[in-house]
Amino acid sequence: MLSDTTKARIEHELDARTVRVGAWLYRRTGGRLMRPWHRRALILTTTGRRSGLPRTVLLQYFPDGRDMVVVAANGGMPRHPFWYLNLAANPQALVEVGGRTLRVRAQECPAADAERLWARVLATAPDYARYRRRTTRRIPLLRLVPEHDSTRRHQTAVVTGASSGIGRELARLAARDGYDVVLVARRAERLESLAEECRELGVSATAIPADLATSAGVAAVREALDDITVDVLVNDAGVGGRGRFAVERPTTADLSMVRLNVESLVELTGAVLPGMVQRRRGAILNVASIAGYLPGPGQAVYHASKAFVRAFSLALAEENRGTGVTVTTLSPGPVDTEFAQTAGIRTGAQRRTPLMPVMSAAEVAEAGWNGLLAGRSSVVPGLGTRVGVQSLRFIPWRTVARAAAVKPPGAVLTPPDGVPDL
């Protein structure tokens, strides 16, 4: 049986010997190396306190807003890691993360902050409990603060459609990453229970129950946003609906869909964008769909609404390039949420196809959130979905429309096999 000290030494040696390979693989894979472990990593380059030369290390980090928190655990070794000592001498460093290189300043977390952050570290990476057990020394937590980011206040993320599905998962991710959250949807009790869950992560959470398909609902949210500095806006709320336009489906239902899927998204984006541009920082995530890539007979207005969201958001991404504000379009394929049931179509789980498997809301949200943090303009989660979407470019619109079409007038509206409800 190996003692804790021996285990710490072995792990430390292994880490020291594999760090170059790890950093090389990390760079080659653009950081995707860590995905299977559901952990986040960055490459930290400090300045050697004695040599003055750059010293590079691959580290696990825990996001807190835009800051990255790293733990100087050193595998539970009795001494601090070299990079911690380097940062103590010179807090300026470079971080490579998500394909970007950032200049950061390291700050040691004060005791109260560290206590809160330890809870998050242990929830994501329980192995740190072992490192704490092994050593009697204090394990410091350091906050790597991007240099341009001089504000120390919590940042705020507004998420619409937060009462279920993708929106709820996106709100959870925002709270996990240290954002105060403002949660919008109609079902107040659901929002309150999510808000409670977010508060347990140490952020503040406000529920705004509102019907975004009505001008009164949108106005109420706009009014609430007037008093908040919004750093992130997630426009997720959306509904679908099935039936031939105006023949099998009341036009009023489609107009209500347009008000929610299109108008409220435009209005809320318009409400926060100027402030973001003025502050030269902010991120917007608009949830579209792969339905936005093709006409959808039988769901004509839904597909058209998502084509609007996509075209609008991609244009905004371009308009705001270089302003410090990013706009990300998230276009999922089929996702297992309440969406299909609400829209009166078959549920996602029943529509599992090998080409485009149904994804979970958590997977889709993670892809969208990572895309937002990386400032990407478009995210299509899932390899099969990406291949499907790309192949649409080479097929004439009419053929695509026919393939996506639901059955002729009056027939039960069921898409052909392999054509998913989106």
Ligand X SMILES: NC(=O)c1ccc[n+]([C@@H]2O[C@H](COP(=O)([O-])OP(=O)(O)OC[C@H]3O[C@@H](n4cnc5c(N)ncnc54)[C@H](OP(=O)(O)O)[C@@H]3O)[C@@H](O)[C@H]2O)c1
- Enumerate the active-site residues: 302
Strand duo 156-160 + 180-185: pairing: parallel
- Give least dist CB 274 to ligand X, A: 23
Whether residue 233 contacts residue 286, with contact meaning beta carbons closer than 8 Å, is answered with no
- Give least dist CB 366 to ligand X, A: 14
- Give least dist CB 406 to ligand X, A: 16
Strand duo 335-336 + 232-235: pairing: unpaired
Whether residue 330 contacts residue 379, with contact meaning beta carbons closer than 8 Å, is answered with yes
Give the whole-angstrom CA distance, residue 218 versus residue 181: 18
Our finding on whether 379 is near ligand X (CB under 6 A) is no
Span near ligand X by CB under 6 A; candidates 140-148, 182-190, 200-208, 224-232: 182-190
Whether residue 133 contacts residue 4, with contact meaning beta carbons closer than 8 Å, is answered with yes
- Give least dist CB 377 to ligand X, A: 17
Of 34, 228, 239, 403, which lies in the binding site for ligand X, with binding defined by CB under 6 A?
A: 239
Of 118, 128, 293, 339, which lies in the binding site for ligand X, with binding defined by CB under 6 A?
A: 339
Give the whole-angstrom CA distance, residue 317 versus residue 321: 6
Nearer to ligand X, 95 or 166 (CB): 166
Of 77, 87, 205, 422, which lies in the binding site for ligand X, with binding defined by CB under 6 A?
A: 422
Of the candidates 316, 293, 292, 332, which has an alpha carbon nearest to the alpha carbon of residue 375? 316
Span near ligand X by CB under 6 A; candidates 31-39, 106-114, 138-146, 211-219: 211-219
Cα dist from 358 to 261, 343, 421, whole Å: 22, 17, 10
- Give least dist CB 257 to ligand X, A: 9
Of the candidates 225, 221, 171, which has an alpha carbon nearest to the alpha carbon of residue 198? 171
Question: DSSP string spanning 236-284?
Answer: -------S-BTTTB-HHHHHHHHIIIIIIHHHHHHHHHHHHHHHT-EEE
3-class SS at 363? helix
Residues belonging to the chain:
422
Give the whole-angstrom CA distance, residue 272 versus residue 66: 19
Whether residue 367 contacts residue 361, with contact meaning beta carbons closer than 8 Å, is answered with no
Our finding on whether 167 is near ligand X (CB under 6 A) is yes
- Give least dist CB 421 to ligand X, A: 7
Of 332, 371, 388, 415, which lies in the binding site for ligand X, with binding defined by CB under 6 A?
A: 332
Our finding on whether 138 is near ligand X (CB under 6 A) is no
The interface with ligand X within residues 1-20 (CB under 6 A) comprises none
Strand duo 100-108 + 92-97: pairing: antiparallel
Our finding on whether 189 is near ligand X (CB under 6 A) is no
Of 135, 156, 299, 337, which lies in the binding site for ligand X, with binding defined by CB under 6 A?
A: 337
Our finding on whether 163 is near ligand X (CB under 6 A) is yes
Our finding on whether 371 is near ligand X (CB under 6 A) is no
Our finding on whether 187 is near ligand X (CB under 6 A) is yes
Our finding on whether 97 is near ligand X (CB under 6 A) is no
Nearer to ligand X, 22 or 348 (CB): 348
Size of residue set near ligand X by CB under 6 A: 30
Read off the amino acid at residue 23.
Answer: A
Site string for ligand X, 44-83 (x = CB under 6 A): ----------------------------------------
Of 141, 175, 194, 213, which lies in the binding site for ligand X, with binding defined by CB under 6 A?
A: 213
Our finding on whether 161 is near ligand X (CB under 6 A) is yes
Cα dist from 202 to 113, 166, 389, whole Å: 10, 22, 39
Cα dist from 214 to 139, 205, 264, whole Å: 52, 24, 9
Span near ligand X by CB under 6 A; candidates 55-63, 158-166, 247-255, 277-285: 158-166
Whether residue 289 contacts residue 272, with contact meaning beta carbons closer than 8 Å, is answered with no
Our finding on whether 268 is near ligand X (CB under 6 A) is no
Of 289, 299, 313, 328, which lies in the binding site for ligand X, with binding defined by CB under 6 A?
A: 289
Nearer to ligand X, 67 or 236 (CB): 236
Residue 90 contacts by C-beta under 8 Å, 6 or more apart in sequence? 46, 47, 49
Applying CB under 6 A, which residues contact ligand X? 161-167, 185-187, 211-213, 236-239, 260, 287, 289, 332, 334-335, 337-339, 342, 348, 361, 422
